[in-house]
Amino acid sequence: MTNAPAHATAADLLALSPVIPVVVVDDAEHAVPLAEALLRGGVRVIELTLRTPAALAAIERVAAEVPGIVIGAGTVTAPEHAEQAAKAGAAFLVTPGSTDRVLDAAEDTGLPFLPGAATVSEAMRLAERGLTSLKFFPAEAAGGVDYLKSIGGPLPGLRFCPTGGITPATAPNYLALPNVGCVGGSWLAPKDALASGDWARVEELARAASAL
């Protein structure tokens, strides 16, 4: 089962929300109330990273129980991750970097995906494969707003979702760039809020992010 929008493309993902929450879930039981809180706050998408043993089960729960939100799998770093995430119900995939095997596996799922790039050469190589909606990671460490502004001229056909080190204070600077569709942010789902079940706080953070 998947809750992907019909005929969704990678470009569509960049338009779902100004901020895509990048979430690490240690307990699958937190996934549904977290997704519901984000949705109440106006955020219709979530990238749940494959960094914990609970991740695939969490994706499966959200896909089955929160149809109003588009659930994606992040930290796809191996070919098998792509297939596992698709079977769990992920509507899209996100990779931190781009190897041929991971790209091939992501394409084989038929799901839209945001491949990661941190250099001009990586971005050009992805464009050669017809991939023009990319993740820029790690955004702050790799040059941030100034870097994306610099590559906008020679690479006008590419748009990015920068992720990594972005905060509510710096997000507007990224979103003001013409080659940025949205940003990824981990601040929408703080670990302490998930651990304590403070869904009202998550909802408040989501509401602020959706207004950026």
The residues annotated as belonging to the active site are 47, 135
Cα distances (angstroms) measured from residue 127 to each of 114, 120, 156, 178: 12, 10, 11, 18
**DSSP secondary structure string, 116-146?**
EE-SHHHHHHHHHTT--EEEETTTTTTTHHH
Shortest CA distance to 153 belongs to which of 176, 175, 179? 179
75 within 8 A of 50, measured Cβ to Cβ: yes
Task: Kindly list the strands in the beta sheet with 159-162, ordered across the sheet, starting from the edge strand earlier in the chain.
Answer: 116-117, 133-136, 159-162
Place of tokens 């600077």: 173
Rounded CA-CA distance 175/173 in Å is: 6
Sign of CA pseudo-dihedral 36, 55, 1, 112? positive
21 within 8 A of 166, measured Cβ to Cβ: no
